[in-house]
Amino acid sequence: MNKTFPNGFLWGGATAANQFEGAYNEGSKGLSTADVMTAGSHDVPREITDGIVKERYYPSHVAVDHYHHFEEDIELFGELGFKCYRMSINWTRIFPQGDEEQANEEGLRFYDEIFEACKKHGIEPLVTLSHFETPMGLLKYGSWTNRKVVNFYLRYCETVFNRYKGKVKYWISFNEINVMSTKPWMAGGVNSDDEQVRMTAAFHQFLASAKAVQMAHRIDPDNKVGMMYAGHFSYPNSPDPEDVQANDDFMHKMLFYCDVQCRGYYPDYKLKEFERVGIVLPFKEGDKEELLRGKVDFLSYSYYLTHVVGKETSLAMKGLNGVKTGYNNPYLPTTEWGWAINPMGLRHSLNVLYDRYQIPLMIVENGIGAVDHVEEDGTVHDVYRIDYLREHIKEMKKAIDLDGVPVMGYTMWSPIDIISASTGEMKKRYGLIYVDINDQGEGTFKRIRKDSFYWYKKVILSNGEHLE
């Protein structure tokens, strides 16, 4: 086994603007779909409201106030030794309603400052263009169900590709694009369980991504654009052939998104499914060629857990909570929020994806949500987070060294406590850095290094060798 990860391996961490920045109405920013999602909990789902309701709490409005703490936060990322910082540009900071002809200069300047801070600390930005932050102003068009939104998205892409040329070379077109099949409001402002509606929206996102890839390459040949898959990986509940077939069907429902973006066309199994259920995609002349020309340069994905699937699993995925398969894995422990902890599954997932697509891979989210406690002396002892990250990094190393999988980098979720996307809570903490704020958005916003901060700093400094 090799002694180190590849030279130039992109160690770092990941955030999302709607969970991190706050300042939802500052800098001439418009409302995004995240801004009308209330807080929830493990037992109470988040809700979508019709605009801002005065008595409700919306965690994205304040988040952890990175907007006013970005210099401090990025300095801390530099102290960690980050090679790469995955972040998102909030579309509504650049085009507040989504359909303007002119960009918002205040928003553009804010990200100029972010990228300058990254450069100061030797950090390579990896920028997600759309991370669950669709402008609310596009809902009057039907959001991604309307082909017009493709052009609005491309205007946004062209603006930031040109503005940040030379400052950003790694891009992701859509965060967890397959969430259109599980949580379509988050994926693109689509609030429907109708599969025709969801698949029309997904088609337009595929087309937008393909055109954005080509645009990025034209504007700067150094640009690399990837897709991002919400890492759903599953095992059959038993050797019963019906369970095995159900598992294949489940994975097809998820992986077809990767098939389209990595191969450049819809797989036959998906087209046959559409044929059976009467779904018609809005193809126009030249669209097939656009999808093929706009294949992504790399595949990035999140990895938190694995599923068990069987013949009782419903493939009709409804509601903001997303996937529930009806089965649990008796061989795996779970987090406080019931997510199965499966480090070996990370190696399995890397092999599944590389065997299927043969393009570079990057793990851009991996972490554990847990309740952290600040001790009287101001320390935070999160050995459970260190254990989780260590075991997953070990399996990633095996995939590289033993299986030959080309992994570009690893940006864990998250370097700092931010709002949980799934529940809208603050107490479900993922960070290496504690932020003093509670579920109601109250606190000092003080940043505190946890034990995991010092551990991960050594991991990066040793290029993955120091894991104990």
What are the catalytic residues? 176, 365
Residues ≥6 apart with Cβ < 8 Å to 7: none
Q: Dig out the tokens for 173 from the structure.
A: 């077109």
With H, G, I as helix, E, B as strand and everything else as coil, classify residue 449.
strand
* Cα 252 to Cα 269: distance, rounded to the nearest angstrom: 8
Backbone angles phi, psi at 326, to 5 degrees: 90, 0
Distance (Å) of CA 114 to CA 15, 62, 81, 173: 13, 18, 17, 19
What span, in angstroms and rounded, lies between the C-alpha atoms of 457 and 463? 10
Residue 32 pairs in a beta bridge with 135
Q: Is 288 helix (H, G, I), strand (E, B) or coil?
A: helix
Number of CB atoms found within 10 A of residue 402's CB: 12
C-alpha–C-alpha distance, residues 112 and 127, integer Å? 13
Yes or no: say if 33 and 185 are a contact pair by the CB < 8 Å rule: yes
**Residues 92 and 31: beta-carbon distance below 8 Å:** yes
Residues 6+ apart with CB under 8 A from 398: 347
Distances (CA, A) of 344 to 3, 254, 303, 340, 454: 20, 20, 11, 12, 25
Report the C-alpha gap between 109 and 45 in whole angstroms.
Answer: 36
**Maximum CA pair distance of the chain?**
66
Question: What three-state secondary structure class fits 432?
Answer: coil
CA gap 416, 429 in Å, rounded: 8
Q: What is the distance between the alpha carbons of residues 147 and 25, in angstroms, rounded to a whole number?
A: 28
Token pair belonging to 356 = 């299927």
Cis preceding linkage at 452, omega within 30: no
The secondary structure of residue 5, as a DSSP letter, is: P
- Classify the phi-psi angles of 304: left when phi > 0, otherwise alpha if psi is within -120 to 50, otherwise beta: alpha
Backbone angles phi, psi at 131, to 5 degrees: -120, 75
The secondary structure of residue 101, as a DSSP letter, is S
